[in-house]
Amino acid sequence: MRQVAVVGAGMTRFGKHQDRSMKDLAREAVENALRAAGMEREAIEAAAVGNAVAGLITGQECIRGQVVLREMGIGGIPVINTENACASSSTAFHIAWLYVASGMYDTVLAVGMEKLFHPDKKRTFTAIGSAIDLDIADEFARQMSGEQSGGAGESRSVFMDYYANLARQHMARYGTTREQFAQIAAKNHTNGSLNPHAQFQTPRTVADILAAPLIAEPLTRMMCSPIGDGAAAVIITTAEKARQFTTKPVFVRASIIGSSQEHAADAPGIVEKTSRKAYSMAGISPSEVQVVEVHDATAPAELIIYEELGLCGPGEGGKMISDGVTQIGGRVPVNPSGGLLAKGHPVGATGVAQISEIFWQLRGEAGKRQVAGAKVGLTENGGGVLGGENAVASVHIFTV
């Protein structure tokens, strides 16, 4: 396998863009990535385009990538569409990486794009909620909601009930507190205030987070990722060709995707197994990672992912946030972009947006949210739920 490097990244601001089409959003992201790489669009030999729910929101199916790229003058090349829940565009990146690493193509584009806002909010929540086994959807919703009041699928995503259930289990087992979850949300909203691409750019305190309306115990609204629209794009090429475009390439050391499977309750889950494979591929240990972007669909999700990635031991996630370890300036900053909680979560765009953030961090281009001296970065992106865990997980590791 050849060594692969990222040479350009671009994205839109995430948020409510009801006056903009997905074509328009994707164009902005792709053109920004091309500009950053100093590359003409004719240099792109193949493209992988991630999108999760356009078919359910707008009705556009089957050829989403071709529809979007053709209008910006990118055509006549292989365009692969990837749909893999919230990991749709990290999956697109994985395919783009495989194209280059295998020697099939030298320069490939990976795009993530999504429009979630719709006048009928129920349509949005129904689309998001389709990332489960629909044969058992009613039973899943009942199990996840527990004693919570109704509204999942109409006033909130059913996944908020799923994450609330995980949070309650973690609290009962390890003594984790609502205040620790609020510390994560406050950290990410504060980080988002430093990110011009973030949907929410207002710093928040722990008191603000705890005072927000309750969504599903123990989750307040500010502990939950918002719906949003947006797009992100990156360009990858061979390590040799990268030097033609930049003096600061970011190398892909690992690209791993896993899926859920039956396992004992005390056996490693999908994120732990996928990250172990990524660490092995990259030849590093968790202690060597210096900046991380994770799938904080909720604040408790981020805390649990600390443990699943091996950044701390089981049950130590609460102490990790309370000790400031994951703050910008801490030992291993997590979600300096603001994460899904503040940067936003247009689901099909999230994976490549995470990769874009790590690209900028490792190049020292992250502005006020820059992690000093970062040379090793990791992204973790999950999607859907099957059997009590993510249906898909992807982990990527990058170095300079």
Give 21-77 pLDDT, tens digit per residue.
999 999 999 999 999 999 999 999 999 999 999 999 999 999 999 999 999 999 999
Q: How many CA atoms lie within 13 A of 139 on its CB side?
A: 7
Task: Using alpha carbons, select from 232, 236, 234, 212 the residue that is nearest to residue 224.
Answer: 212
Q: Are residues 182 and 324 in the same domain?
A: yes
pLDDT class for 203, splitting at 50, 70, 90?
very high
- Show which of 214, 237, 252 is a domain's final residue: 252
Q: Are residues 262 and 248 in the same domain?
A: no
Q: Are residues 159 and 259 in the same domain?
A: yes
Domain assignment of residue 272, yes or no: yes
Residue 315 or 147, more confident: 315
Question: What is d(CA 125, CA 79) in angstroms, rounded to the nearest whole number?
Answer: 29
Q: Are residues 289 and 389 in the same domain?
A: yes
Q: Are residues 219 and 301 in the same domain?
A: yes
Domain assignment of residue 69, yes or no: yes
The confidence score (pLDDT) of residue 141 equals 79
* CATH code of the domain containing 85: 3.40.47.10
Q: Are residues 58 and 202 in the same domain?
A: no
Known catalytic residues?
86, 345
pTM of the model: 0.96
Q: Are residues 237 and 269 in the same domain?
A: no
Q: Give the number of other Cβ atoms within 10 Å of residue 91's Cβ.
A: 25
**What residue type is 232 in one-letter code?**
A
Q: Are residues 110 and 233 in the same domain?
A: yes
Q: Are residues 310 and 335 in the same domain?
A: yes
Q: List residues bridging with 291 in a β-sheet.
A: 377
Q: Are residues 87 and 170 in the same domain?
A: no
The answer to whether the CB of 74 falls within 8 A of the CB of 44 is yes
Domain assignment of residue 123, yes or no: no
Q: Which domain does 285 fall in, by range?
A: 132-226+255-399
Q: Are residues 97 and 148 in the same domain?
A: no
- Classified as helix, coil or strand, 184 is helix
Average pLDDT over residues 5-18: 97
pLDDT class for 152, splitting at 50, 70, 90?
low
**What residue type is 364 in one-letter code?**
G
Q: Are residues 84 and 156 in the same domain?
A: no
pLDDT class for 138, splitting at 50, 70, 90?
confident
Domain count, the chain: 2
The answer to whether the CB of 326 falls within 8 A of the CB of 181 is no
First to last CA, the chain: 18
